């Protein structure tokens, strides 16, 4: 049974700066893309059409250990560090060429969305919790 999600990528030119290094903001995109892939692997989607609930980020941090360069291959791993009643906390790592490149942690909250654009904290549906449990460390 899986305890984490892993996926491989290659740095695209559009993700780099003038020095050919990945811009720091793209690391957050890499982790979020892997998070969404984890949900798909669990048979879910984080943004189902016409869903009354949403999943805003309430915190995110990333520590950079080494640069990523254009055309470099790397692997992203994501696992759930805490599956609480109303929030999900993740930890992730990016590695490449046998080296740790970046580590991250982030938290999302389950909310009910209202027609006026407001949101209110909500409990995570049991079906979602059940499907994500295999990815909890």
Residue 97 phi, psi dihedral angles, 5° rounding: 55, 35
Residue 2 pLDDT more than 80? no
CB-based contacts of 114, cutoff 8 Å, min separation 6: 120
Nearest CA among 58, 2, 72 for reference residue 30: 72
Catalytic residue among 3, 10, 17, 99: 17
Q: How many domains does the chain have?
A: 1
pTM beyond cutoff 0.85: yes
What burial class does residue 76 get, using C-beta atoms within 10 Å of its C-beta: 0-12 exposed, 13-18 middle, 19+ buried? buried
Assign residue 85 the CATH number of its domain. 3.10.129.10
Residue 17 falls in the annotated catalytic set:
yes
Predicted pLDDT of residue 75:
98
Please report which confidence band the pLDDT of residue 85 belongs to, taking 50, 70 and 90 as the band edges: very high
Predicted pLDDT of residue 67:
96
20-51 residue pLDDT tens: 999 999 999 999 999 999 999 999 999 998 89
Under DSSP, the state recorded for 27 is: H
Please report which confidence band the pLDDT of residue 1 belongs to, taking 50, 70 and 90 as the band edges: low
100-119 residue pLDDT tens: 999 999 999 999 999 999 99
Where in the sequence is the domain holding 22, given as residue range(s)? 5-135
């Amino acid at each position: 049974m899986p305890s984490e999600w892993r996926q491989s990528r290659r740095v695209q030119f559009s993700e780099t700066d003038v020095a050919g290094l990945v811009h720091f903001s793209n690391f957050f995109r890499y982790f979020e893309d892997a998070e969404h892939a984890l949900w798909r692997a669990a048979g879910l989607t984080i943004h189902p059409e016409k869903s009354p609930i949403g999943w805003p980020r309430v915190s995110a941090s990333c520590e950079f250990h080494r640069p990523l360069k254009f055309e470099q291959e790397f692997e992203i791993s994501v696992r759930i560090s805490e599956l609480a009643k109303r929030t999900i906390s993740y930890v992730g790592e990016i590695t490449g060429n046998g080296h740790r490149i970046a580590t991250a942690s982030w938290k999302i909250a389950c909310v009910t969305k209202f027609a006026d654009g407001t949101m209110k904290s909500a409990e995570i549906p049991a079906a979602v919790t059940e499907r994500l449990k295999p990815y909890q460390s």
